[in-house]
Each structure stands twice: as C-alpha cells, then as structure tokens.
Structure 1
Amino acid sequence: MDGIAAGRLDEQQYTQNFGDLYAPLDRHEAQVASDRCYFCYDAPCVTACPTSIDIPLFIRQIATDTPEAAAKTIFDQNILGGMCARVCPTEQLCEEACVREAAEGKPVQIGLLQRYATDTVMGQGKHPFSRAAPTGKTVAVVGAGPAGLSAAHRLALHGHDVVLYDAKPKPGGLNEYGIAAYKTPDDFAQKEVDWLMQIGGITFRHEQKLGAQITLDGLAEEHDAVFLSIGLGGVNALGLADDGLDNVVDAVRFIDTLRQSEKSSVPIGRNVVVIGGGMTAVDAAVQSRLLGAENVSIVYRRGQDRMSASTKEQDHATHEGVRLICNAQPVAVHADGVDFEYTADGPDGLSGTGEVFRLAADQVFVAIGQTLGEVSLDLDGRKIAVTGPGRTSRAGVWAGGDCAAGGEDLTVTAVAEGRDAAEDIHATLMNGA
C-alpha cells in the first residue's frame, strides 16, 4: 500500500490531463466539416444511429448556418444529444456507416458536428420544447441516468407529471458518476440535466433507492405508471480467495470517486493493474495514468478483438501509455501483485494453459461487469425481461437502459429506450390500453 498516494502531479498537470479530450469545432470548422456530407437519401448513418437522428438534415442545417435548427433536429430524437456527442462510439455507429468512410477511410465528423449544434443551443440557455397541457397523470421514473432522463423529459413533454427518483445525491447516473472525467469536463453532465429540466413538470427526489426508501409496490400504488432505469448496481467480484484485499477496488467506484473529487485528492498507485476489457476498464486505466501512475496494464481474459471497448478507445489507452495484455485471467491477488494464467479460447470455451506470470501492482481495479439488484419482475438472463418498448412482466411497469434485456450497454441506446418507453407509457395512459 506504500505505493498508493494522492497529489503525484502539480495542479497545472491535473488541469491539462483532465481537460477536454477532443477540442470542439468552431463555426468555420463546422462549416467546412458539414460540406463533406453527401446528404444521402436513405442515409446509412441514420440507420446506424440507435436514436435515429436525421443526420443528413442536421448537417445540412449546419451547412446553411442554422445550428439552432440542427440542434432541434437532434433533440427531437435524442434529448441528451450533447452528452452523446461526447461519449457515443460514433466510430462504430454512424461514422462507420458513413459513405465517406467506405470511399475514403475518413468519415464526416458527425459526432463533432452534433456537439457543435447542441452546444450552441445549450450555451444560449434555450430549451426548444414546451410542455403539452397537463394530463393529470403521474409517472414514477426510477433512476436518473440516460434512460430515466430521456423518459422523464418525453413524459413531461406530453404533459404528465414526473417524479424522478435516484439513489445518488445528484441526477445523471452513468453520465455523472460513471464516465471518464476527461470526456465530460466543466461539469457538463449537471449542466445538461439542468437544461433538460427546463421542460418543467419533473420533480427530482434524491437518495431514494429501490428496495430501501422506495418499493415497486408503493410506486405502483402512488403513480399511474412506473419506468425503471436503475442500471446495474451490483459489481461482479473476481471470485478469488484474496479478493478482499484493500488494494483491490471496484473500477466503477474509482471512476465515481474521481468524478466527484478534486483530482489531486484521489490516491493512485505507482503500479496499477486493471482487470477487464470494456469501456470501464479503459476509463479506469487511462485516468490512472492521468493521475500519475507510472505503470498501468489492462489485462483481459480473451483476445483483443473480443474486447468490448472500441478500437478507438483501445488506441487511446495505448497512446496514454497503458499496456494491453490479452488472453490472461487472474488466479491470485497479493499485496504486491496479481498472478495471471495465460488462456486459450477454443471451441469448448476459455481454458487456462497452466503458464502463470505475475504483474507487480500496488493497486488493482476490477472492471468485469455489473449485476442487477433484486427486483420482483421476470428476468431474461441477468436483466429485466421486456417486450416491445420496455414493457415488463408487470402491468403498468416499464424498464429500459442497462437494467433491461436487449440492446447495447451504451448511453445512446439507453436514451432511445427511455424515449420509446415514454411514448408507449403515454399511449397507454391516454388510451387506457
């Protein structure tokens, strides 16, 4: 534990390290970037977008110097378009599908153009929507992350009164507590929530955890409908005998702490090992380097091509000095290191080869997935079973986001699921279906 300390860098280095990862486009740059769009009919980028934003239209609106109109086009489909412009893996979605990518290997900068438009309107403090007349219906939204915020806004837009419950002190969910600080500097997540709440009709109740301060039965009795967007609160353990050592930390908790603290106050080891292959693993590893860790390794049990973190994120990690070690699984954790066994991924699944090596580590972050807490609903695997736009096994209860089965565990997917569930809730409440 002697190798773990806070304040390894000076304040200027912290400011530089945790500044905006990608510089935004200015007006001229946005004009130039928008001119590259072919404005395709039946554009493949729209099909690739989980929220089905009319991408050619909003880019054309930027090209004609009407970013406010472009932002409205985006927000019509994705009310969290500002955050998604920052964290969405566009290189695997809309930009990968871009015709320019296929023809030239250089897609239109859709993500940066989306940020330019949404930042323009949000910077003006404008909210482009107004509530419909009150319906007299109330809806409980449990979980103030991307799915919950999306659902709450759409329900409020339709005139319903929404009570937004969350176990945390602040709304935002993953956007506030679970994304690398350098992706959302300047408190953007809370600024976006404040902007979204301008729609009116949404009451936020913090530190209200399902199964503790609130229950599903109680919510169903108090409200006309319930939408669950509770995420995955539990964390998978390594399952090793030495799993409880003080230097073994949940990567999600580490990222949470870092987002809510002064960077110089967060202790980090000299030798850090991150176990896992997803975005959380990359975020934990990169931020360890940015905090001043000297040696950081991500160790994943399968091949690099099986990592759920995008190639762009993997490349960013290696650029920051993170070492990627694949086909290795942990077998023992010690106070000064972790023992790994090389693996082979064959037709019968993953197996150890018997060859073991040790990595020095005074701090270990575990990022091997999260689990759903206990809910009194039918499950599909380890998540809540849903049909259509988020209907659960219980009438009057919908679910979306990471807690619900199906889809990708992405912010943009959660937004789409919250939006679509809200539309179905609205139709049900108004039609009595």
Structure 2
Amino acid sequence: MMKAPYKAVAALVSASGLAAVMAMAPAASAAKRNTVELTFYYPVGVVGPLSQTMTTLVNRFNQTHPGIHVNAVFSGNYQQTLAKVETAIQGGNPPDVAVLNHTAQFDLIHLQAIEPLDDVVKAGGFYPALTQPKVQGHFWGVPFQRSTVVLYYNKDAFKKAGLDPSHGPNTWSELVADGQKLQKLGMSGIEIPSDGTVYWEFEPFATEAGHNLGGNDGVHVYFNSAAAKTALQFWMDLSHKYHVMPAGILPWNNVPTDFENQKTAMIVHSSGSMASILQNAKFQVGVSFMPAYKSKYRTGVGGGDLYLFKGIPADHRAAALTFIKWMSAPAQAAWWSIRTGYVPTSPQAMQQPEMQAHIKQVPQAKVPVDQLAYAQPELSTYQLNQVYDVIDSAIQSVIDGQSTIAAALDKAQQQADAILAPYRMQ
C-alpha cells in the first residue's frame, strides 16, 4: 500500500532534480562562455621537475581567477619554444602569453609580434640588472624566471682536499689549483657544460677577460675579440694543460648529475638548477660567484621573460595582462624562486616572509641575488637562434679538436656579421 505514494514522491524528487540540473546547465554553459581561455607557452630547459612546478602555479592562478583559464603548453627548451612561437605567429595564431628567453626581444620586435610592457615593468620594482638594456626605448618583457651563472662546489670534498669549504675558488688561478687538489680524491676538478647554449656559460669568462660577446644594439657581436680567445684558451687549458676538466663535449643535463654523483667536485651551471641540485646531492653543496679573471668578477644573466603578443582579442589581452602581473608579483616570484632556484626578481620578492625564511634555511639561494651587482647583459641579437648556433658551433669545434681557437672564432665572427648585416641597414 505504501509503494504508490513512494513512487509518486520519487517521481516528484526526480523531476525536481532534473529541473535543477536543467536550470544549472545554462548557468554552467554561460560561465564557460564567459571564461577567457589563454594559451601560455612555457619552455622547460633546465634540470628538475619544472613542468610540475609550473602546472601547480598555473592551477593556482586558475583557481583564484574564475573568469580566466590558462592552458600551459610545455614547448621544449628556449630555442625550440622561440621557433614554435615564431611559427605560430607566421601562421596567424600567436599565443596570448609566453615565457621566452629575454634575449629574444629583437626577433620578436622585428616580427611586430609583441607589445611593450613599460607600465608593468616600472610598477614591478624589478632589479635593474634584469630589465636592462631597454630596446627602442621600451621594456618588452617582464622578468619572470631569471638566473645567473654560478659555481657549485662539493664542500665535503673541499674539506677532504684541505681546502676552505666556506667559499669556492675566487680566481681562475685558484680554480686550477683547487681542481688539481680535488683530482687526488678520484674525481674531476670541474665540469663546464659545452652543449646546448654553450655561449651562456662561456660569456662570463669572456667578459671577465675584457669584453662581452655582444653589444646592446642587436646587430654587433665580438666573437673573435682578444677576450673571447683568452677565455676559450682557458677552457682548453682546464682539460689539456691542467687536466682538471674532462676533455670533449660535456652535456648540459649530465653535468649536474655528475656533480650529484661526485664524479666532479665543481661545476658551472645555472642558478635555476639550484633547487634540484640541493635536493639530489648527498653532501654539503656550496654556491659561489664565478671565479674572477685576476680581480674582475662577472656573471651572465639568463632566463626568460613574460611576453604579451599582438593580434589577440581584446578580452584575451586584458586577461593576459592580469596573468602577467600576477605571475611576476613578489609573492609568486618568491614562491617560484624557492622551488626552482631562479632569482627572486625584485627586492620586494626577496622580502617576502617565505623567501626570508628560505634564505635562512638555504643561504646558497642568496648568492645569485648578490651576483646581480656584477651581472652583464646576455648576448642578444636579431636572428637569435642562428647567431647562437654560430658561436656554439665554433666553441664546440675547438673543444672537439676540429679547429684552432683563432680560426674558429674568426669564422664565427664572419658568419655572424653576414647574418646581422641586413639589420644594420634598417
């Protein structure tokens, strides 16, 4: 006798539920229509789980900005990402936002692909070393994941070798002397990567010796300067005269692994690799400035900026600016730095409570920030990937024993001059 009323009630409830779902469907559909979907290209070019870390950060943005949804596209290293972005631009389908090498700005300007971001940069209070030089009177990228070239060293090995573990070698000559003592422990003294973006690890040595590899105008390089030849001779001497570095090409990704496995006592690498190295090493890791040539300290500034692309709808542009400002704000800059090793991009980021606590626990993280006082602009030109290939190939040809230093660098200068000549006449 109770089944009929129960069925009636069930039917009523079912009908009410269906009505509620149907009422919610247009609202959900409307919400989806009102959400701006952004495409964000991001390069993964250093060791460590950067893709997972970036996914976490993007998810945090999406959760706190219900009208915007950012889709991250992991697009290879910096050079591969730039090539993919250029292809997308030429196809009329640019991303909304991308992290690209901060030196890519000349090519992006030439393509008329990006908007200047002067207001965002000026409001951000970033370290000057991360925003200079201006190009055509504008700031085109917002500093995000920026790094310096640093020297990592095994403090435990230093102690065993009778060296002071409180600091790495201060000069090139100390680097040699320390490396020779460390060799006696059954490991190489130092490794410097020589594949991938070889120029980046090489440029601080050349700058310390007297001249950087490029000017600030995008059309001049100094690949065969006396300073570049001095620096490359030192690299060769580390292997063939002093025998403190393995001969031949040393892969970028293998160098931190060799360090972590105690096959080498020191390495030159990106500060962006710091979090991974500190996590994986089973010994005390020291981080130092680049050793000076005589008394001249220099380091290179690398890494990527956030760029805003032209040709996107107005609502995308507004959403993209919101995303760029949020990503580069002090709280996110500190969060990102702690988990990756990249430089906190502003004094305000350094003062974040989380960052200050991190520095107390991991004092090595302060070294890249202190190095900014000695930072020099990175090699930046038009036809960036081609010019990078020229100098990288030249250095590798010497390391491989296929060319002399003078011949390789002279040839590289001629090739780069030919590539850049058309842009000098603009």
How does the TM-score come out when normalised to structure 2? 0.23
Which structure has the larger Rg over C-alpha atoms? Answer: 2
Structure with more strand by fraction:
1
Structure with more helix by fraction:
2
**1 or 2 for the larger relative contact order (CA 8 Å, sep ≥6)?**
2
How does the TM-score come out when normalised to structure 1? 0.23
